[in-house]
Amino acid sequence: MTTQASGPRWDLTLYVSGASPRSTEAIATVRLVCDLDLAGRVDLAVVNAADRPDLLTRDRILALPTLVKHAPDPLRLLVGDLSDVEQVRQGLDLPAGRISTAPAADEAQP
């Protein structure tokens, strides 16, 4: 099934440090935001800094994890703790509150 996505195309690069806990959290958070808010209109590259030091220099990365928004303009770098969905959403200028933290209907208590 092909979905037509409306809006600008997003180009994101997430720089991480291997499989560290902070990197794992950042990957999960950024993928969640991409899946729920940018589905069908985002290109996300996850880069292990140890594997691609040339890209660290290109994007002027000084700390990990770092999420770089290349497009749409303006260029943005979100650095450090990327475990909070709302903070990542705010840093990307996306609307807040689209993810429900309430339990799913099948998990609700009687």
Domains in the chain and their CATH numbers? Answer: 10-92 (3.40.30.10)
Burial class (CB within 10 angstroms; exposed 0-12, middle 13-18, buried 19+) of 89: buried
Whether the pLDDT of residue 86 is over 80: the answer is: yes
Whether 10 contacts 71, CB under 8 Å: yes
Please state whether beta strands 66-71 and 76-79 pair in parallel, antiparallel, or not at all (unpaired): antiparallel
Mean pLDDT of 83-108: 70
pLDDT per position as a tens digit, 23-59: 999 999 999 999 999 999 999 999 999 999 999 999 9
What token pair was written down for 9?
């195309």
pLDDT bucket at 96, cuts 50 / 70 / 90: confident
pLDDT of residue 98: 55
Is the full-model pTM beyond 0.85? no
DSSP 8-class letter at 105 = G
* CB within 8 Å of 77: residues ≥ 6 apart: 59, 61, 66, 67, 68, 69
